[in-house]
Structure 1
Amino acid sequence: AVNVVAMVFGNTGDDSGTGVAFTRDPNTGEKQFYGEYLPNAQGEDVVAGTRTPFPLTKLNDINPAVYKQLLEIFEKLENHYRDMQDIEFTVEHGTLYLLQTRNGKRTPYASVKIAVDLAEEEKISKEEAVMRVTPEHIETLLHPYFTKETMESAEFLAKGIAASPGAASGAVAFDPDTAEKMVREEGKAVILVRPETSPEDIAGMAAAQGILTSTGGKTSHAAVVARGMGKTCIVGCEAVEVDQKTRTMRVNGKTINEGEWISIDGTSGKVFMGKLDSVKPQGLEGPLAKLLGWADEIRKLGIRTNADTPRDAKIAREFGAEGIGLTRTEHMFFQEDRIFAVRQMITSSTREQREKALNKLLPMQEEDFYGIFKAMEGLPVTIRLLDPPLHEFLPKEDEDVKELAEEMGMTYEELKTTVEDLHEFNPMMGFRGCRLAVVYPEIAEMQTKAIIGAALKLVEEGKSVVPEIMIPLIVELEELKFVKSVIVKAADELISKSGLKLDYKVGTMIEVPRAALTADEIAKEAEFFSFGTNDLTQMTYGFSRDDYGKFVGHYMEKGILENDPFQKLDRVGVGQLVKMGTEKGRSSRPDLKVGICGEHGGEPSSVEFCHIVGLNYVSCSPYRVPVARLSAAQAVVKNR
């Protein structure tokens, strides 16, 4: 086919010209015509930048009749296409010609505002408005970001795995203590740079503007914690080599000293030299709040959050979370006022010693849970019992080992041997999860008392509390029975003694393939399931979630993997375990409540899959709650 089109000329005198216009402001979304006009010119004169165009109203000064005709056409085109239009036009000797129209590109904020305005003008439905906004738009509006122009003009250093969105600039700090000191004493913004973070780094991560690690993937410690805190984070940036002795880092041949400034973009994974200016986020208000309200009317999935502190719980609730799907109790143990007692507990050689240490921790844990329950009053809160390998809590520095040995009445050599014996070769599949509660039931007993004790305090104050106690890493029904019996005994004794009424649930995480395969048996004892898809992906693929970043990029480049399975739920393999586990569990317990609490809970494709297989809720980090709300609504519309 051949299209033959008459050429029109805007460069034939002052009664001619060319222009580009939008039917709404593409930057703000405001309902006002936005554009430029250049008299006696062709389109390439505008594009080349050799002449400066005038505001669109210049055409009204030159030829009011043509300007009026143009505005009428704007209205007609937008009403027809039901979206903001980007229009190119030419005026030849006073006659208006349209060259093209198309849906106009716009900023994330404008996307939301235009979609909401068009729905309120009844040009599109609320469902269409929800479908016209992307999850990426939402994330941009909730985090600071670097503009494309800013990044293009900056000195690029390296690229890693984008783990938590946003834009951050700060002075480099190579350990958490230095990060805290630079913020507290020098008032500096800081980027914490580590080979990889551990739970001991929590305070430094909280003080920093952003986190950069040379190893790890999207579900590594740094990534998970940063997302929960709403911190910008890049992981697996292998070009970064940290030298703790010289307090420097080398990046592709460039040496950067501690205290020098770098900038990181958590959306693209790019690292830049120096301090870049970022654009502040718009926040959850105005048109975005209205759009997400419409999404809530459409979606079927509940949206919960992963939160370990009252602050996180409060933020998530403000973002629309309907409860907590995962509270990781281990994150509470690393605070300065309790880590010593935790270490005493771990290195105890007798039950009496262990219980003495646990009695120190009990009021601290109870206080933690009280704050979280209060922030989530009236909404369900799922608290996971202690999960990680014990060696993560143990001292690494000789001075700390000596201090602990003295307190425990042991020699330095005896404690050093104990610490070395507790080290595990494959800790992700070692002595962790419910196995801790089987070997040391007193740990589960203490945590249960803290959970129920906190809940009873609030009940006494007239508050509504919905505690759910979750047992991690179950692989066998008898294992679940044993740990559940410890929990129920401790909980019922406290409730009975208080004389108050408190309902609670005991459920489990499905994180191991065997648990999904035997879910019908496990559901006989578990009152709810929560799929921990981070570990389930790890164990199904046999990929270490801390080391897979070394090769998964190559797999994707070579077409072996289409997506990173820790970022986007693998529907064919891991997803089938989720589907099967849900169906088998409900065959034994029809009213079984099922959710997921892995990082997939905030990823749009994964949320859609959870909707398709009939889960009750997804749980994600606080700053991804709005994304999950939108994605859950879009899943309904797509699969109707």
Structure 2
Amino acid sequence: MSEEFPQDPAEQLTRAIRAVFDSWNGERARIYRHREHISEDLGTAVNVQAMVFGNLRSAVTFESSGTGVTFTRDPATGERGMYGDYLPDAQGEDVVAGVRDALPLSELKRLNPRAYLQLADHLRMLEHHYRDLCDVEFTVERGKLWILQTRVGKRTAEAAFRIAHDLRVEGTITPDESLVRVDGAELTRLMFPRFDTTPADVPLAQGVPASPGAAVGVVVFDSAEAVRRAAAGEATVLVRRETTPDDLPGMIAAQAVLTSRGGKTSHAAVVARGMGKVCVCGAEALTVDPAARRFTTESGVSVHEGDTVSVDGTAGTVHLGALPLTASDVGRALETGTASGPLTEAVLGALTHADSVRRLEARANADTPEDAVRARSLGAQGIGLCRTEHMFLGERRALVEAMILARDDNARQDALAALLPLQREDFTGILTAMDELPVTIRLIDPPLHEFLPDRTELAVSLARTEHPDPHDRELLAAVERMHEQNPMLGLRGVRLGLAVPGLMAMQVRAIAEAVVARLRAGGRPRAEIMIPLVDTVEELRLARTEAEAVLAEVQEETGTTLDCPIGTMIELPRAALTAGRIAEYADFFSFGTNDLTQTTWGLSRDDAEASFFPLYLEKGVFSVSPFETIDQEGVGRLVEMAVEAGRAVNSRLETGVCGEHGGDPESIHFFHRVGLDYVSCSPFRIPAARLEAGRAALMDTTGGSDSR
């Protein structure tokens, strides 16, 4: 129902004030607060002031009034100089709303040179006062310049690094202040290649931006095809409903991974991030049909195997065809340590200062020599998590099957003996790449059934085969025998090592013999042995006793002194609560915050993200997923308690974190505060972790925060 506009100025003012207050609860405001993690109970404020008018015409000249928005530096690139727009005969909202085409700020210089020079003087004064990029709104009323408002301006990641660097060089801010004004999330964005898209590039589908970057390749629907095409030099995009450990070879071979299910912490997302692969998960509008070798969009477009697509892991979009790529100069500079322009100079300068002030070490989660080499080139100070289960996939699965199907101890030992040299070779390569730096090797963690064929697929295959292979029948019997209702809480980790005779001994011997090989080659290996999923001190005591016996055997056989610390992964609440006792038998704690979050919250990560997580985020139960940023009140408190209790018993106890949170900027600040020695993350996230560790040290010392 419409009403006449009130003519009483007092009523106009009252309604305008009320409208501003009411805007706090508007839909756009709520969405913005959620995205920026702004508290719901802060409220807003109203300024009441006199107006000036940029649309007042003078009898002398039409252009004597106008309005504009300007920045003290380019907010897109960080380049020095005035950047902005000007509209003659207009009000401020006309510039912001884009209802008219604005003119370059240089037009003001032509139309009103005096106002332009005054504006330049004011901008210099404002930037000097605020010591940062300023966003300024101004009006010219009948030739007179008015500054309406200013604020510290929003900027791109590129501009953030350049501005912070330039202000430091100019002496406006200190090196410490310069470091605090950039962050790891911005650095990560700068490292990935990007697509050069236009508004006309309509995506096929939108999903969860699980691992940022840009990649182009032909669609494939299984791991074997991805490997085959990659070997032929063809770039591929692996498309699955969801990925499993079996897909690892294909994920390694592919340029990008696209799934129709899962969220940011699904298997596809976690593994892709760990490898620095582009990944879009949960593109629910896509119907993936592996049998027909195609996927279909909501609008009915079918994309077949061999068709080319572009995957944008930063935006979470998928496009048909090959979009043009823009390479990342920052990524190259970080790997080579050589600047190629103002931006890379600024990034390398920020990292150099971060390294000089940080206390936390930055280590990598790496499972191959190639990952280790890349991690070291990006500044990793060791490997905080080397997963050995990935070494049992591919052609080696036959040996694992033989171990599982062994009818007696002799057959099992034969299978383990065949695996031993392969494991030793793996460890030797990784220790070579990380010579002189610590390498924490986790003994096998997942349940053995993950190395066997899928239960349902195998049963169906046997049922359809007239003369089934006896080996397949034996496999199905083993799968049935090992089937668990909840494998995550079943026979895995240290339980598996204690339950399968010889398995743990084989792995420890492979580590020990790799260390001996490196020592004899003149290297300086620093291998550490991690026992996973410990719940009680008795488990660790038994595992440590067995490991030490193997180390002693290798020492005696080779005449070489071995120094291999033995510790555990704290990933269960009971382990955290009894950390004081566990520390009696541990040289180090590594917090596995992925599983610690699941078991503390009672959540299945993949299931929760696919069902009620969006609802919880919308309703404010979570401000952010606890799998992305550490839950400080719950999971974080367990970490803090375990560190305190462990060090009270063992003052030399080394502590670190190797879960996904090890590369999360906000979580890194928490780990610094509770006194961890290192964070470990995927190689690609090492530069961001180094940067955030430096920022954490400064902000902890000064109590300061990012002025933006």
TM-score of the superposition, structure 2-length normalised? 0.81
Root mean square deviation, CA, Å: 3.0
Paired with 2:554 and 2:674, the residues of 1 have a C-alpha distance of 38
Aligned to 1:342: 400
Quickly say closer, same or farther: Cα 1:488–1:350, change in 2 above 3 A: same
Question: Which amino acid letter does the alignment assign opposite residue 609 of structure 1?
Answer: F
Structure 1 unpaired stretches of 5+ = 403-408
Q: SS where residue 485 of structure 2 aligns?
A: coil
Paired with 1:35 and 1:238, the residues of 2 have a C-alpha distance of 41
Aligned to 2:504: 444
Aligned to 1:405: none
Question: Which amino acid letter does the alignment assign opposite residue 431 of structure 2?
Answer: F
Paired with 1:130 and 1:254, the residues of 2 have a C-alpha distance of 49
Q: 1:168 aligns with which of 215, 222, 227?
A: 215
Aligned to 2:157: 108
Paired residues for 1:293-304 under 5 Å: 293-304=352-363
Paired residues for 1:332-371 under 5 Å: 332-336=391-395, 338-371=396-429
CA offsets 1:504-545 (integer angstroms, 9 cap, x no match): 100011112221122111111111111111111112222122
Paired with 2:273 and 2:139, the residues of 1 have a C-alpha distance of 49
Q: Compare 275-284 and 569-578 and name the one that shifted more.
A: 275-284
Paired residues for 1:372-383 under 5 Å: 372-383=430-441
Paired with 1:485 and 1:429, the residues of 2 have a C-alpha distance of 24
Quickly say closer, same or farther: Cα 1:82–1:424, change in 2 above 3 A: same
TM-score of the superposition, structure 1-length normalised? 0.90
Question: Which amino acid letter does the alignment assign opposite residue 616 of structure 1?
Answer: D
Aligned to 2:513: 453
- In the TM superposition, residue 156 of structure 1 has moved relative to its aligned partner by 4.4
Contact map agreement 1:45 1:51 (CA 8 A) in 2 = no
Q: SS where residue 618 of structure 1 aligns?
A: strand
Aligned to 2:601: 541
Paired residues for 1:385-400 under 5 Å: 385-396=443-454
Quickly say closer, same or farther: Cα 1:6–1:417, change in 2 above 3 A: closer
Paired with 1:136 and 1:279, the residues of 2 have a C-alpha distance of 19
Paired with 1:62 and 1:237, the residues of 2 have a C-alpha distance of 52
Aligned to 2:256: 210
Quickly say closer, same or farther: Cα 1:75–1:555, change in 2 above 3 A: closer
Q: SS where residue 381 of structure 1 aligns?
A: strand
Paired with 1:520 and 1:499, the residues of 2 have a C-alpha distance of 35
Contact map agreement 1:327 1:384 (CA 8 A) in 2 = yes
CA offsets 1:79-129 (integer angstroms, 9 cap, x no match): 111112233445567654444433233221111111111122221122222
Question: Which amino acid letter does the alignment assign opposite residue 7 of structure 1?
Answer: F
Quickly say closer, same or farther: Cα 1:99–1:542, change in 2 above 3 A: closer
Quickly say closer, same or farther: Cα 1:450–1:5, change in 2 above 3 A: same
Paired with 2:48 and 2:664, the residues of 1 have a C-alpha distance of 45
Q: 1:554 aligns with which of 615, 624, 627?
A: 615
Q: Compare 234-243 and 512-521 and name the one that shifted more.
A: 234-243
Q: Compare 442-451 and 413-422 and name the one that shifted more.
A: 413-422
- In the TM superposition, residue 175 of structure 1 has moved relative to its aligned partner by 1.0
Answering whether residue 103 of structure 2 is matched by residue 53 of structure 1, we say: yes
Aligned to 2:522: 462
Paired with 2:296 and 2:485, the residues of 1 have a C-alpha distance of 29
- In the TM superposition, residue 604 of structure 1 has moved relative to its aligned partner by 2.2
Aligned to 2:294: 248
Contact map agreement 2:54 2:88 (CA 8 A) in 1 = no
Q: SS where residue 543 of structure 1 aligns?
A: coil
Paired with 2:618 and 2:94, the residues of 1 have a C-alpha distance of 41
Contact map agreement 1:154 1:273 (CA 8 A) in 2 = no
Answering whether residue 548 of structure 2 is matched by residue 488 of structure 1, we say: yes
Aligned to 2:77: 28
- In the TM superposition, residue 43 of structure 1 has moved relative to its aligned partner by 6.0
Q: Compare 598-607 and 246-255 and name the one that shifted more.
A: 246-255
Contact map agreement 1:13 1:93 (CA 8 A) in 2 = no
Structure 2 unpaired stretches of 5+ = 1-46, 335-343, 463-468, 702-708
Aligned to 2:589: 529
Q: SS where residue 547 of structure 1 aligns?
A: helix
Quickly say closer, same or farther: Cα 1:243–1:636, change in 2 above 3 A: same
Paired residues for 1:227-376 under 5 Å: 227-252=273-298, 254-259=300-305, 260-281=307-328, 282-283=330-331, 284=334, 285-336=344-395, 338-376=396-434
Q: SS where residue 625 of structure 1 aligns?
A: helix
Q: SS where residue 611 of structure 1 aligns?
A: helix
Quickly say closer, same or farther: Cα 1:349–1:545, change in 2 above 3 A: farther
Aligned to 2:695: 634
Q: 1:429 aligns with which of 473, 489, 497?
A: 489
Q: 1:178 aligns with which of 205, 225, 245?
A: 225
Query: What percent of counterpart residues are identical?
Result: 49
Q: Compare 462-471 and 497-506 and name the one that shifted more.
A: 497-506
Paired with 1:497 and 1:596, the residues of 2 have a C-alpha distance of 35
Aligned to 1:193: 239
Aligned to 2:558: 498
Aligned to 1:226: 272
- In the TM superposition, residue 32 of structure 1 has moved relative to its aligned partner by 3.5
Q: 2:644 aligns with which of 555, 567, 583?
A: 583
Quickly say closer, same or farther: Cα 1:207–1:410, change in 2 above 3 A: same
Aligned to 1:85: 134
Contact map agreement 1:215 1:549 (CA 8 A) in 2 = no
Paired with 1:155 and 1:636, the residues of 2 have a C-alpha distance of 44
Paired with 1:219 and 1:15, the residues of 2 have a C-alpha distance of 58
Q: 1:599 aligns with which of 660, 672, 687?
A: 660
Quickly say closer, same or farther: Cα 1:269–1:14, change in 2 above 3 A: closer
Q: SS where residue 326 of structure 1 aligns?
A: strand
Q: Compare 33-42 and 524-533 and name the one that shifted more.
A: 33-42
Paired with 1:10 and 1:312, the residues of 2 have a C-alpha distance of 65
Q: SS where residue 23 of structure 1 aligns?
A: strand
Contact map agreement 2:70 2:83 (CA 8 A) in 1 = yes
Paired residues for 1:569-580 under 5 Å: 569-580=630-641
Aligned length: 628
Aligned to 1:406: none
CA offsets 1:487-520 (integer angstroms, 9 cap, x no match): 1122222234333344210001111222112211
CA offsets 1:197-229 (integer angstroms, 9 cap, x no match): 122211211222221223334333212210111
Paired with 1:114 and 1:37, the residues of 2 have a C-alpha distance of 24
Contact map agreement 1:20 1:37 (CA 8 A) in 2 = yes
Question: Which amino acid letter does the alignment assign opposite residue 215 of structure 2?
Answer: A
Aligned to 1:133: 182
Paired with 2:291 and 2:272, the residues of 1 have a C-alpha distance of 26
Quickly say closer, same or farther: Cα 1:10–1:278, change in 2 above 3 A: farther
Contact map agreement 2:85 2:95 (CA 8 A) in 1 = no
- In the TM superposition, residue 54 of structure 1 has moved relative to its aligned partner by 4.4
Contact map agreement 1:441 1:483 (CA 8 A) in 2 = no
Answering whether residue 510 of structure 2 is matched by residue 510 of structure 1, we say: no
Paired with 1:297 and 1:2, the residues of 2 have a C-alpha distance of 47
Quickly say closer, same or farther: Cα 1:490–1:543, change in 2 above 3 A: same
CA offsets 1:6-32 (integer angstroms, 9 cap, x no match): 435686346776654432232322233
Paired with 2:471 and 2:377, the residues of 1 have a C-alpha distance of 51
Paired with 1:131 and 1:609, the residues of 2 have a C-alpha distance of 16
Quickly say closer, same or farther: Cα 1:352–1:617, change in 2 above 3 A: same
Quickly say closer, same or farther: Cα 1:244–1:500, change in 2 above 3 A: same
Question: Which amino acid letter does the alignment assign opposite residue 677 of structure 2?
Answer: N
Paired with 1:356 and 1:120, the residues of 2 have a C-alpha distance of 65
